[in-house]
Amino acid sequence: EIVLTQSPGTLSLSPGERATLSCRASQSVTRSSSYLAWYQQKPGQAPRLLIYGASSRATGIPDRFSGSGSGTDFTLTISRLEPEDFAVYYCQQYGRSPTTFGQGTKVEIK
């Protein structure tokens, strides 16, 4: 099973600042494509897909969200934090069975 380790556990930032979240896999999740997704979850809500294929934005996701990386190291960047972006973010690998999630990074208001 591929273990995903997200860092940091908590990120304390102010609105307007840049957020950089990391997701490291215990083995490569890249073959013909990078099978890595990012989700946002707010309190009391279901997760929402942000990024798939490591760098493709899902429908309706603002362009301040971007994903990058390949192999074992991936990054989610939020260029300028809006008030509604404070939430927990999870990465998921779906390239090797079983699919697994990282433990999450909480982005909180400083």
Partner 1 sequence: EVFLVESGGGLVQPGGSLRLSCAASGFMFSSYWMTWVRQAPGKGLEWVATIKEDGSDKYYVDSVKGRFTISRDNAKNTLYVQMNSLRAEDTALYYCARAREEYDFWVGYFPGFFDYWGQGTLVTVSS
Among 24, 55, 57, 94, binds partner 1 (CB under 8 A): 94
Determine, following the binding rule CB under 8 A, whether residue 65 of this chain makes contact with partner 1.
no
Number of residues that bind partner 1 (CB under 8 A): 26
Residue whose C-alpha is closest to residue 23's, from 88, 92, 86: 92
**Contact pattern for partner 1 over residues 30 through 59, marking x by CB under 8 A:** -xxx-x-x-x-x---xxxxx--x-----x-
**Residue type for 4, please?**
L
Length of the chain: 110
71 touching partner 1, by CB under 8 A: no
CA distance 17 to 28: 31
